[in-house]
Amino acid sequence: MSANPMQARIARVETVPLRVPFRTPFKIAQGAARPQAEIFIVRLHTDTGLEGIGETQAWRRQGSSETLHSLRATVEDHFAPLLLGRSPFEIGAIMPALEEAVYHSLYAQAAISDALYDLQGKILGVPVHALIGGRCRDALTACAVLTIKPTLEETVAGARAYYDAGFRAFTVKVGIDPEADHDNVRELRRQFPDAVLRVDANAGMDFDSALRLLRRLEPFDLDAAEQLLPVWDLRGMAELARRSPIPLMADECVATDHDLVEVIRARAATVVQTKIAKNGGIWHGRRLWHIAAAAGMRIYPGNHPGTSVATAAALHLGAAWPGPLLEGAFAVGLLNLAEDIVTRPLQMQGPRLAVPDGPGLGVSLDEGQLDKFRVAL
Ligand SMILES: [Mg+2]
């Protein structure tokens, strides 16, 4: 260790591509059911022996063209030379340099952003939330994500298990079979009259189908309908927002802060979902929240299915946020992945997830689990 830990410099950039299995195959409107999530971990090693960790995912659906190979190439070939020899406290200079090196590389940047924050926290001995405004809440409340199941009975049984565990907010995946969507929502509303219900088509519907579905779902008191239309159809979203009785949430169509400004200008949604990977980690995510709040939008903290590392990043972002937050899907990975990759996985108390108190993100990688799920690229 050097005498002054503030002088720590990044000495090595290590990448760890993983495939982590889901408990049951994960099915949404876009694409086939998935047996595994593709997780990408970055470890920033310093010359003082500390390491910072960050997570992103290779999602490969609308809004993401990343693969494990492309993430590795971006980080190792283009980001690493910009990181070596730098202090993790230079995050404000580093993040724009990464964007300059590889345009629109938010998925890869997410892992760097959060590894830099993790390092800063470990060097100072404080949790990440203390670096970005301090603790405004002790825990975040999550929603349950109900993926597309073959039968109404299976959908309701899944919701019942979550409800019995204390969950009172549900995001129901829709967009393939409008009859099943209608019947699912009607039955969930009947069985859970006090629950917050939202639907999410993951950009899988056309305009006419979306409008028709929204009108049919109007009696069921939905809090929001998430990203029904493809990412390219912002005008369609704006038209839908004007004609829909249900508030709309933008997700896949918002990657950059510019995307969010366009949604606001078009009044194409009144709720925005951010994800650690999609939006470039804590660094970019907090900026999106400020823009959204300034425009009067509601904020839904989400995530792609990921491990405790990306979940912790979302928790710290939320912990330091002074405004209201919806019951987001930030814990979808904890609830749906079969295993984790940290020594002490984050533990939910029903729908609540306490903000970690340890230095940095507050989670440590389990080498055995990394070896178990590591992919040879
Ligand atoms: Mg979504």
Query: What's the CA-to-centroid distance between 8 and ligand 1, angstroms?
Result: 38
Nearest Cα to Cα of residue 162 among 202, 192, 200: 192
Does domain 131-361 sit in CATH 3.20.20.120? yes
Q: In what order do the strands lie in the sheet with 352-354?
A: 139-141, 352-354, 348-349
Query: What's the CA-to-centroid distance between 169 and ligand 1, angstroms?
Result: 15
pLDDT (tens digit per residue) in 193-236: 999 999 999 999 999 999 999 999 999 999 999 999 999 999 99
> Structure tokens of 115?
């590894």
Query: What's the CA-to-centroid distance between 148 and ligand 1, angstroms?
Result: 13
Mean pLDDT, rounded, for 60-73: 95
pLDDT (tens digit per residue) in 287-313: 999 999 999 999 999 999 999 999 999
Are 6 and 88 in contact by the 8 Å Cβ rule? The answer is: no
Instruction: Please provide the average confidence, as pLDDT, over all residues in the chain.
Output: 96
pLDDT bracket for residue 1 (50, 70, 90): very low
Query: What's the CA-to-centroid distance between 226 and ligand 1, angstroms?
Result: 6
Q: Which residue has the tokens 């507050």?
A: 362
Dmax (CA) for the chain in angstroms is: 66
Nearest Cα to Cα of residue 128 among 56, 75, 57, 53: 53
Query: What's the CA-to-centroid distance between 303 and ligand 1, angstroms?
Result: 8
Query: What's the CA-to-centroid distance between 190 and ligand 1, angstroms?
Result: 24
Mean pLDDT, rounded, for 16-40: 91
Q: In what order do the strands lie in the sheet with 51-57?
A: 10-26, 34-46, 51-57
Domain ranges for the chain, please list them: 5-126, 131-361
DSSP H stretches of helix in 193-268: 207-217, 234-243, 257-266
E strands, the chain, are 10-26, 34-46, 51-57, 139-141, 144-146, 169-173, 196-200, 224-226, 248-250, 271-275, 298-302, 348-349, 352-354
pLDDT at 28: 82
Nearest Cα to Cα of residue 34 among 24, 44, 45, 42: 24
Query: What's the CA-to-centroid distance between 160 and ligand 1, angstroms?
Result: 22
pLDDT at 252: 96
Mean pLDDT, rounded, for 322-337: 96
Q: What is the DSSP letter of 83?
A: H
The topology under which CATH files domain 5-126 is Enolase-like; domain 1 (3.30.390)
Query: What's the CA-to-centroid distance between 330 and ligand 1, angstroms?
Result: 11
376 backbone dihedrals φ, ψ, rounded to 5°: -85, 115
The b-or-e profile of 186-214 (16+ CB within 10 A means b, else e) is: ebbbeebeebbbbbbbbbbbebebbbebb
Are 43 and 72 in contact by the 8 Å Cβ rule? The answer is: no
Are 5 and 36 in contact by the 8 Å Cβ rule? The answer is: no
Are 39 and 306 in contact by the 8 Å Cβ rule? The answer is: yes
The count of C-alpha atoms lying within 13 angstroms of the C-alpha of 121, restricted to the half-sphere facing its C-beta, is 28
Query: What's the CA-to-centroid distance between 28 and ligand 1, angstroms?
Result: 9
C-alpha R_g of the chain: 20
